[in-house]
């Protein structure tokens, strides 16, 4: 500590929002160089490297091979897959001195695909899994929370290459198993959730989330079964067919002054009371209008029908439509469609075949045979007993309605069980998915199969963010007094505090440090002399968060040092002569 390039800070940095970010800066692990761009100081770099090493071991262990692509990439491959434009403002683009277009790689699907195309040509060469641990760039609109959402960050990205879908499923499972081993070794609480695959396309997709209140991702778990999913990936249980044989004919009614769901429900209960139960928001069909911004710049209106007791979830909607961006339809845009009557829009004016020609997609709950109260496309009027499939047919369905605690679990539903969903927040730390053949098709990656026929290769994509993991692990393990690292990623095994100015104290602390180093441990020795009091040293040790803190100080008079577990706070006095063996024992268990 007397020479280590570190300075701890008493106060939280101004720009830090989340506890892990505050502590990583205060404890001298990282420094901000620009928004979303960080410098790794020695302590931080050690944690990052330990995480990378764990990932590398497990990737090598499952037979994946490491290589390394550049970060500065030519435009052409990304044009072939349309990502040059699809990424919009989210990538950094630049020109070289000759005017050539380049980007800073946000992910490397194209490069991996092309290198396999370059080297391999036969089904005999496959399966193949290759990976890199490398620096990536995204020009995030809102970099936040320190390392949790950075603009320059480290990623382990790997790709599997197979001839058949069954091969891909196997490669996916091998990666999934390796990821479980990695996350178990990293030593914190995580959950595997079903996920959407975002801009990448593809089918099966799961995320590894660190459980954390500050997480950006909301996920849900079933209260009964093992279902867990990112909110973007939650699906509504398949609708049970409903018979509408005894449903009355749809009838338009005057509902003056009811442009909102609340006012409509009040009016219905007032003017058209029901015997069995009062009208509720869930009986109404709300039609929300948005504008899709396609990557090529074109704009398209879209109507989304959801039960009146639910909002459209922007993230779920965008998750379905990526790389398209979505914004609400404003008054000016609405005015361009005279068929739409604000506050009273209904299926009569919606759909590709309708008066407005606006595509109309609905929540899966708006299923065939279900009955709804919805706008009559006339000011101050709604239609009651509108039956899907009889009175109107939407252009399709979309999973865009908000997910709520208590919603039915889709997995339980298939078994006839009654589990319900409960939400929590997490930090995305890993993402595995079956990418399929889209990249191989776009870039022409084919191999000869057993019959000498050219077939397109199918790919899987697997990512972990080691730099984000540093923050996520910190976030998941910190406590009131500082960082509190799991043993396998801590910047050192033992933090020895020489507590006192006496020469005997320093000599004993140094001897212990030497003995532990000889035994193969990483030791952080606080040998600062002069004005640094034992109190300051203890506070620093707690802040830095090495799992085992050893105090060489007053107890030395009785021949003892104190060994303390940073996490539990448990302390024990150990005779100086036994200390090294005892500490090695603690670290190695």
Does position 520 bind a copy of itself by CB under 8 A? no
For a copy of itself, the binding residue among 1, 47, 104, 509 (CB under 8 A) is 104
Q: How far apart are the first and last CA of the chain?
A: 26
112-115's contacts with Cβ under 8 Å and 24+ in sequence apart are 112/69, 112/157, 112/159, 112/459, 113/77, 113/159, 113/439, 113/440, 113/443, 113/445, 113/459, 114/77, 114/443, 114/445, 115/67, 115/69
Which secondary structure element, helix H or strand E, spans residue 522, and what is its range? none
Helices 42-61 and 466-477 cross at an angle (nearest 10°) of: 110
Q: Least Å distance between CB 97 and a copy of itself?
A: 4
Which secondary structure element, helix H or strand E, spans residue 320, and what is its range? helix 314-321
How far, in Å, CA of 152 to CA of 372, rounded? 49
Does position 447 bind a copy of itself by CB under 8 A? no
For a copy of itself, the binding residue among 15, 17, 33, 225 (CB under 8 A) is 33
Q: Between 236 and 265, how does the x/- string for binding to a copy of itself read (CB under 8 A)? A: ------------------------------
Does position 453 bind a copy of itself by CB under 8 A? no
Size of the site for a copy of itself (CB under 8 A): 50
Coil, helix or strand for 340?
coil
Q: Least Å distance between CB 203 and a copy of itself?
A: 25
- Cβ proximity of 457 and 161 under 8 Å: yes
Pairing of strands 205-211, 396-397: unpaired
Q: What angle do CA 513, 519, 524 make, to 5 degrees?
A: 35
Closest among 459, 456, 439 to 447, alpha carbons compared: 456
Range in contact with a copy of itself (rule: CB under 8 A) among 35-43, 327-335, 493-501, 517-525: 35-43
- Cβ proximity of 491 and 43 under 8 Å: yes
For a copy of itself, the binding residue among 15, 17, 61, 135 (CB under 8 A) is 135
Range in contact with a copy of itself (rule: CB under 8 A) among 99-107, 311-319, 368-376, 570-578: 99-107
Q: Least Å distance between CB 153 and a copy of itself?
A: 10
Does position 10 bind a copy of itself by CB under 8 A? no
Does position 55 bind a copy of itself by CB under 8 A? no
Choose between 46 and 316: whose C-beta lies nearer to a copy of itself: 46
Does position 102 bind a copy of itself by CB under 8 A? yes
Q: 398-409 b/e with 16+ CB inside 10 Å = b?
A: bbbbbbeeebeb
Coil, helix or strand for 6?
coil
Does position 37 bind a copy of itself by CB under 8 A? yes
Q: Between 59 and 98, how does the x/- string for binding to a copy of itself read (CB under 8 A)? A: ----x-xxxxxxxxxx--------------x--xxx-xx-
Strands (E) located in 354-420: 359-362, 371-378, 381-387, 396-397
Does position 269 bind a copy of itself by CB under 8 A? no
For a copy of itself, the binding residue among 123, 137, 360, 433 (CB under 8 A) is 137
Structure tokens at 102: 């380049």
Does position 3 bind a copy of itself by CB under 8 A? yes
Strands (E) located in 415-520: 421-436, 446-448, 454-456, 458-464, 494-498
Which secondary structure element, helix H or strand E, spans residue 510, and what is its range? helix 503-518
Q: Least Å distance between CB 517 and a copy of itself?
A: 13
How far, in Å, CA of 557 to CA of 505, rounded? 10
Does position 581 bind a copy of itself by CB under 8 A? no
Choose between 65 and 203: whose C-beta lies nearer to a copy of itself: 65
Does position 28 bind a copy of itself by CB under 8 A? yes
- Cβ proximity of 234 and 207 under 8 Å: no
Q: What angle do CA 384, 390, 394 make, to 5 degrees?
A: 90
Range in contact with a copy of itself (rule: CB under 8 A) among 128-136, 212-220, 393-401, 403-411: 128-136
Structure tokens at 12: 């939280």
Q: Between 145 and 184, how does the x/- string for binding to a copy of itself read (CB under 8 A)? A: ------xx--------------------------------
For a copy of itself, the binding residue among 15, 17, 39, 173 (CB under 8 A) is 39
Q: Least Å distance between CB 72 and a copy of itself?
A: 5
Does position 452 bind a copy of itself by CB under 8 A? no
Binding site for a copy of itself (CB under 8 A): 3-7, 28, 31, 33-34, 37-42, 45, 48, 63, 65-74, 89, 92-94, 96-97, 100, 102, 104, 111, 115, 118-120, 128, 130, 135, 137, 139, 141, 151-152
């Amino acid at each position: 500590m007397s020479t280590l390039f570190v300075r701890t800070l008493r106060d939280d940095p101004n720009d830090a929002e989340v506890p892990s970010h505050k502590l990583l800066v205060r404890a001298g692990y990282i420094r901000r160089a620009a928004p979303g761009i960080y410098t790794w100081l020695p302590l931080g770099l050690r944690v990052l490297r330990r995480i990378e090493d764990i990932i590398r071991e497990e990737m090598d262990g499952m037979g994946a091979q490491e290589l390394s692509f550049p970060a500065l990439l030519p435009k052409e491959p990304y044009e072939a897959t349309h990502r040059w434009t699809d990424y919009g403002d989210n990538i950094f683009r630049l020109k070289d001195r000759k005017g050539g277009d380049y980007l800073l790689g946000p992910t490397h699907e194209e490069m991996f695909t092309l290198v396999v195309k370059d080297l391999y040509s036969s089904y005999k060469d496959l399966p193949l899994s290759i990976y890199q641990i490398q620096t990536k760039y995204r020009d995030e609109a809102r970099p936040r929370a320190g390392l949790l959402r950075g603009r320059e960050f480290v990623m382990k990205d790997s790709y599997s290459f197979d001839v058949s879908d069954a091969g891909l499923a196997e490669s996916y499972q091998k990666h999934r198993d390796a990821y479980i081993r990695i996350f178990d070794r990293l030593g914190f609480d995580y959950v595997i959730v079903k996920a959407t695959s975002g801009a990448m396309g593809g089918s099966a997709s799961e995320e590894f989330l660190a459980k954390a209140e500050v997480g950006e991702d909301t996920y849900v778990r079933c209260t009964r079964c093992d279902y867990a999913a990112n909110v973007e990936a939650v699906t509504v249980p398949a609708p049970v067919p409903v018979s509408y044989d005894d449903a009355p004919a749809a009838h338009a009614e005057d509902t003056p002054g009811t442009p909102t769901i609340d006012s409509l429900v009040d009016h219905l209960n007032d003017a058209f009371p029901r015997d069995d139960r009062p009208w509720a928001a869930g009986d109404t069909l709300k039609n929300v209008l948005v504008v899709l911004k396609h990557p090529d710049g074109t704009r398209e209106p879209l109507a989304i029908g959801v039960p009146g007791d639910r909002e459209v979830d922007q993230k779920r909607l965008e998750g379905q439509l990526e790389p398209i961006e979505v914004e609400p339809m404003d008054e000016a845009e609405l005015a361009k469609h005279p068929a739409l009557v604000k506050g009273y829009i209904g299926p009569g004016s919606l759909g590709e075949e309708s008066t407005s020609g606006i595509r109309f997609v609905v929540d899966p709950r708006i299923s065939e045979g279900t009955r709804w109260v919805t706008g009559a496309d006339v000011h101050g009027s709604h239609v009651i007993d509108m039956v899907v499939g009889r009175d109107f047919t939407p252009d399709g369905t979309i999973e865009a309605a908000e997910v709520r605690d208590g919603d039915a679990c889709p997995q339980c539903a298939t078994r006839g069980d009654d589990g319900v969903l409960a939400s929590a927040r997490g930090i995305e730390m890993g993402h595995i998915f079956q990418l399929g053949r889209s990249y191989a098709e776009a870039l022409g990656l084919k191999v000869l199969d057993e019959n000498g026929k050219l077939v397109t290769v199918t790919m899987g994509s697997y990512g972990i963010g080691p730099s984000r993991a540093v923050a996520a692990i910190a976030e998941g393990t910190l406590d009131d007094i500082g960082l509190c690292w799991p043993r396998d990623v801590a910047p050192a095994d033992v933090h020895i505090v020489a507590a006192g100015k006496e020469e005997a104290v320093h000599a004993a602390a140094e001897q212990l440090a030497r003995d532990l180093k000889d035994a193969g441990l990483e030791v952080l020795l606080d040998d600062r002399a002069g004005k640094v009091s034992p109190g300051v040293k203890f506070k620093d040790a707690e802040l830095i968060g090495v799992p085992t803190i050893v105090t060489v100080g007053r107890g030395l008079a009785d021949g003892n040092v104190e060994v303390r577990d940073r996490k539990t706070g448990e302390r024990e006095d150990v005779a100086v002569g036994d200390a090294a063996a005892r500490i090695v024992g603690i670290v190695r268990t």
